[in-house]
Amino acid sequence: MGPWFDILRRHRVMRASAAAVFLYGFSGAATSPYQSIVAIRELGMSDGGYAMLALCAAIANVVMAIGVGMISDHFQSYRKPLIFVSCFGVVGFAAVWATPSILVFSLAMLGPLALYHAMNSMLFGNVRAHSNRFDPEESRIANALMRIMISLSWVLMPGAVGLLLANSDTMIAAYLIAALVAFGIFLTVTFWLEPDVNQPSTNTGPRPPAFRDLKRIVAPNLLWRVLGVALISQVLHVNAAVLPLVVTGSAQGETSDVGFLVGIVAVLEVIFMVFWTRATRDTAITSALMICATLYLGYLGALAIATAPWHVYLASCLAGFAAAGIVSLPISYLLDLISDRPGLSASLLAVNVFLGGGLGAGVFGIGTTMGGYGTAAILSGVFGCIGAGLLILVERQNHEQSHA
């Protein structure tokens, strides 16, 4: 673990970014598990209305993440946009807490909080912009270290908020906690991140018009890669929907088992992210993703036929190992797709979350219609392997063309 601590000791940008992304994970972990409860049960929003709001908020987040990334690249500034975005987190979360209503909740989700959630990709982009300072080993582990910090926050925060508000009649206070955490991010990026004037420039010439950068996102060669990663990522979304239903259904478990299983997998992810980072020293990321997708297919197959809680607990050990790679490896892969535009390449992380969620919803709907939750799980795993195969095929074709 020496290099993992060395990168924090040697680089101020890594210390500040790791702290900020840890706090960002805290804010999400404090509110996301209870978001539907607040919207539907406490504020009175309909199921359909909440689903539509969630979709529109996801679209708004993708658009804003791309826009902020393009602006950051154009002006060669990543710290100032992070300060700007963190302020909207404070405003959005505080507004929901101070004036809980369907209107305020909806406006916050579509505006300030959609912009605030661009923070995740922007922090990764900020680290990528500084990566020319790192030695090769540090560059390899930087993104994994950032993702580990998010996972750690999710291991700690949901249960802590649940215990803190256990005797309360409302979960609205979770948004006050998130507002305070967002203010902590504001302080971190304002006073800890290095000023923009000290950031290494990634500029290699005159800045092209923003529209030209935008065209790079929709280039077919890049879109196939993004689609492949999204097909892999959708397995996590389908598992999130299927796992509780299988555990409390065919596996004959309790609701409490779901929480334990999610926690176990999160801890295993943190541990095995280190393994997958080291594995990519000698193995291509696309090959590693194929291994992870295949193993996750095995887990989803085991989940589909589980008839007792211990079956799921045993299968979750495999899930944690494979999910560690599925969560962490696509970050490095996507950030390298537009390596000379750190902000724009980082916005692909938000695009991947959106596409992965949409594909996962579609696979879940088709699978459950065909044969139930088990079918949905297996179908998701198959599509994950198809996505990994697509990445390998695209990279092979590009390699052959470059040597032609």
What pLDDT score does 249 carry? Answer: 86
Distances (CA, A) of 20 to 241, 279, 374: 29, 27, 38
Phi-psi group of 209: left, alpha or beta (phi > 0 → left; psi -120 to 50 → alpha; rest → beta): beta
Maximal CA-CA distance, the chain: 68
CA torsion sign for 193, 197, 351, 349 is: negative
| Residue after which a domain boundary falls, among 199, 233, 251 | 199
Secondary structure class of 63 (helix, strand, coil): helix
Residue 225 and residue 185 in one domain: no
Same domain (yes/no): 192, 275: no
Same structural domain for residues 150 and 169? yes
Q: Are residues 131 and 275 in the same domain?
A: no
Judge if 193 and 214 occupy the same domain: no
Whole-Å CA distances, 157 to 83, 172, 296: 23, 16, 26
Among 199, 216, 237, the domain boundary falls at 199
174 shares its domain with 311: no
Q: What is the pLDDT along the chain (404 residues), one digit of tens a residue?
A: 567 778 888 888 899 999 999 999 989 888 887 887 888 888 998 878 887 888 888 899 999 998 888 888 877 788 889 999 999 999 999 999 999 999 999 999 999 999 999 998 899 888 888 877 787 778 778 888 888 888 888 777 777 787 788 788 888 999 999 999 999 999 999 999 877 544 444 444 445 555 566 677 778 888 999 999 999 999 998 998 888 889 888 898 887 787 788 778 888 988 899 899 888 888 999 999 999 999 999 999 999 999 999 999 999 999 999 999 999 999 889 988 887 788 888 889 889 989 998 898 889 989 989 988 999 999 999 999 999 999 999 999 887 777 76
pLDDT value of position 309: 92
Shared-domain flag, residues 152 and 244: no
- 226 shares a domain with 192: no
Residues 112 and 240 in one domain: no
**Which pLDDT value is given to residue 201?**
44
Instruction: Give the 3-state secondary structure of residue 110.
Output: helix
Last residue in a domain, options 199, 219, 254: 199
Question: Which of 57, 61, 127, 118 is closest to 84 using CA atoms?
Answer: 118
CATH number at residue 335: 1.20.1250.20
Polymer length in residues for the chain: 404
The CB-side HSE value for 110 (13 A sphere, CA atoms) comes to: 12
Tell me which residue range forms the domain holding 83. Answer: 1-199
Are both 191 and 108 inside the same structural domain?
A: yes
Residues 153 and 91 in one domain: yes
Do 118 and 236 fall within a single domain? no
Quickly tell me which residue has 């589980």 as its tokens: 306
Question: Which uninterrupted H or E stretch holds 308?
Answer: none
Number of domains in the chain: 2
Q: Is the dihedral of CA 307, 309, 310, 315 positive or negative?
A: positive
Backbone torsion region of residue 207, taken as left when φ is above 0, otherwise alpha when ψ lies between -120 and 50, otherwise beta: beta
> Is 146 in contact with 212 (CB distance < 8 Å)?
no
Amino acid at 323: A
DSSP-assigned letter for residue 133: G
Question: Quick one: 162 exposed, middle or buried, by C-beta within 10 A (0-12, 13-18, 19+)?
Answer: middle
For residue 71, what pLDDT is reported? 85
